Amino acid sequence: MRRFVIIVFAILGMIVGVALGEAFASVPYLSWLSLGGEIGLKNPVTIDLNFLQFTIGFWCKINIAGVLCMVVFALISHQIARIIKI
């Protein structure tokens, strides 16, 4: 259960961090937080079997602020899990 909480908080941290990185992209002295890249398939792959259709796709945007917030949120969740004794 503790690992699940830490993983959820890390994913939330990445989401918050990427949003913050994009928000700080226009600020001159904080624009370095938005440096990063994208990985995955932008155009999803579709397999059509006439009676069943699969669409598979994955895309992830990563920047420096996202990685920093992911680490901070994971550390915070580890402390919270220890306090509530999960």
For the chain, give every domain's residue range: 2-84
Give me the percent of the chain exceeding a pLDDT of 90.
Answer: 34
Q: State the average pLDDT for the chain.
A: 89
CB-CB neighbours of 55 under 10 Å: 9
Minimal CA–CA distance to 77: which of 13, 6, 11, 7?
6
pLDDT for the residue 84: 83
Which SS3 state, helix, strand or coil, does residue 61 take? strand
Confidence bin at 52 (pLDDT 50/70/90): very high
- The pTM is what? 0.75
Q: What span, in angstroms and rounded, lies between the C-alpha atoms of 78 and 4?
A: 11
DSSP 73: H
Give me the percent of the chain exceeding a pLDDT of 70.
Answer: 100
